[in-house]
Structure 1
């Protein structure tokens, strides 16, 4: 069985200044482009982790679309379900990195994602129903998210949802379909529950607010960089904390893609029937590898990195 991945496929442009950024002027630096998009990145990561994937999405009938499809075919990712649009150009993501190689600001031109509609999902329903896991993300239109979850309701298909950004995660407020796992960072969580002053260590407040407002989301995985990872089981009202070994600033080349890598490592664990502890450990290790890579999907990523237990050094069940 495969993992079916539905969502954004685009070209990424990233600019990195050689020195501290000066605003409202030109900054000497390096500009890099590659295939991107949350769903494409997750598919690429899982391919490197030897997980069979079906990628669902849309590209434009243009040179960027050709570049992306050629690369996906080289990776042997199934592109049979990808739609080619004559109405929109291929999505583009533009990111500016600060002197620490972390994203300062970005612009996402993803109007093409409107072509992933209910009719598109209905057309591929049988493939989704025969998947082990279906991954969705907040770039998708709310009605598409809801319809997909409705199709998968009362099946054995596991659903994993990624928040994408502070703004896009708010779409979940109007979603009532059941989601097995939601992965997001702490900033996205605060935006979702509208608690900007919330402290990451205040897990009881997180637990209370989330269980009251989102009973349809069964499990929550919150990443917060070197501060660690929180896992919350919404049904058992159980919270666990996982520590993360700090990556030295000198080792970080590009933070873009680390979140997608974490989600991919987590999905790898779930796909292979690992427990939550192992799956989160895999996610942490995949993210660490990606932080040290200039690419959104690290060349060094493979199943071999999961052989030695070092990522989640401390795991605690919280009362």
Structure 2
């Protein structure tokens, strides 16, 4: 059985400053580009973890779309479900990184993702129903998200959701369908539950607020950099904290992509029927490898890092 990945496929442009960023002026640094998008990144990570993947999304009939599809085919990721849109531009993500390689600001030009609509998903719903797990992200339109979750309702197909950003995660406020796993960072959690003064270590408050507001989400995984990972389950009303170990600043080459790698490691564990402790451990190890890589998907990522 495959994992089906649905969402953003785009080109990433990243500018990294050599020194502390100065605003409203030019900053010496390095600019590079690569294939990106949350869904594409997760699919690429899973490919390196030897998980069979079907990737669903859309690219434009342009040079960026051509580059992305060529790369995906070389990776042996199934692109048969990817829509090529004649009158659309391939999505572009632009990020500015500081001297510590953390993102300071980004712009996401993802209008093309509206082409992943109900009609598109309906064509492939049998493939989704025969998946072991379906991954979704909040770049998708709310109507599309709702339709996918309804298709998978009362099935044995796991659903894993990624929040993407502080703004886009707010779409989940309008979703009442069941979600098995939601992964997000602490900033996105605060935005989702509208509690900016929330204490990451106040597990009881987080559990109470989340259970009250989102009873439809079975499991919540909250990352917070080197402060750790918090796991909450609505089913058993319990929380568990995981320390992550520290990656030294000098080891970090690029923090972009670490979150997608964490999600892929988690999905790998679920795919392998591992317990949640192992799933989160896999996510942490995958993210650490990615922090130390100049690429959004680390060359060194493989199942060997889990040994």
TM tier, smaller: over 0.9
Q: Is 1:306 aligned with 2:302?
A: no
SS at match of 1:226: coil
TM-score, normalised by the number of residues in structure 1: 0.96
How far 1:235 sits from its partner (Å)?
1.2
* Residues 67-93 of structure 1: CA deviation (Å, up to 9, x unaligned): 000000000000000000112100000
Q: Name 1:176's counterpart in structure 2.
A: 176
Q: Is 1:43 aligned with 2:43?
A: yes
Q: Distance in 1 between matches of 2:195 and 2:278?
A: 30
How far 1:232 sits from its partner (Å)?
0.4
Q: Name 2:87's counterpart in structure 1.
A: 87
- 1:3-14 matches, within 5 Å, as 3-14=3-14
Q: Name 1:315's counterpart in structure 2.
A: none
- 1:70-85 matches, within 5 Å, as 70-85=70-85
Q: Is 1:67 aligned with 2:67?
A: yes
How far 1:19 sits from its partner (Å)?
1.1
* Residues 234-283 of structure 1: CA deviation (Å, up to 9, x unaligned): 11101000001000000000000000000000000000000000000000
Deviates further, 15-24 or 157-166: 15-24
* Residues 204-232 of structure 1: CA deviation (Å, up to 9, x unaligned): 11101100110000000000011000000
Q: Distance in 2 between matches of 1:32 and 1:236?
A: 45
Q: Distance in 2 between matches of 1:88 and 1:173?
A: 29
Structure 1: runs of 5 or more not aligned: 308-319
How far 1:50 sits from its partner (Å)?
0.1
Runs of 4 or more off by more than 2 Å in structure 1?
none
SS at match of 1:197: coil
Q: Is 1:293 aligned with 2:283?
A: no
Q: Name 2:278's counterpart in structure 1.
A: 278
TM-score, normalised by the number of residues in structure 2: 1.00
Q: Distance in 2 between matches of 1:66 and 1:15?
A: 23
* Residues 38-66 of structure 1: CA deviation (Å, up to 9, x unaligned): 00000000000000000000000000000
Q: Name 1:108's counterpart in structure 2.
A: 108
- What is the root-mean-square deviation in Å for CA atoms of aligned residues? 0.4
Q: Name 1:143's counterpart in structure 2.
A: 143
Q: Distance in 1 between matches of 2:100 and 2:198?
A: 25
Structure 2: runs of 5 or more not aligned: none
How far 1:9 sits from its partner (Å)?
0.1
Q: Number of aligned pairs?
A: 307
Q: Distance in 1 between matches of 2:102 and 2:304?
A: 27
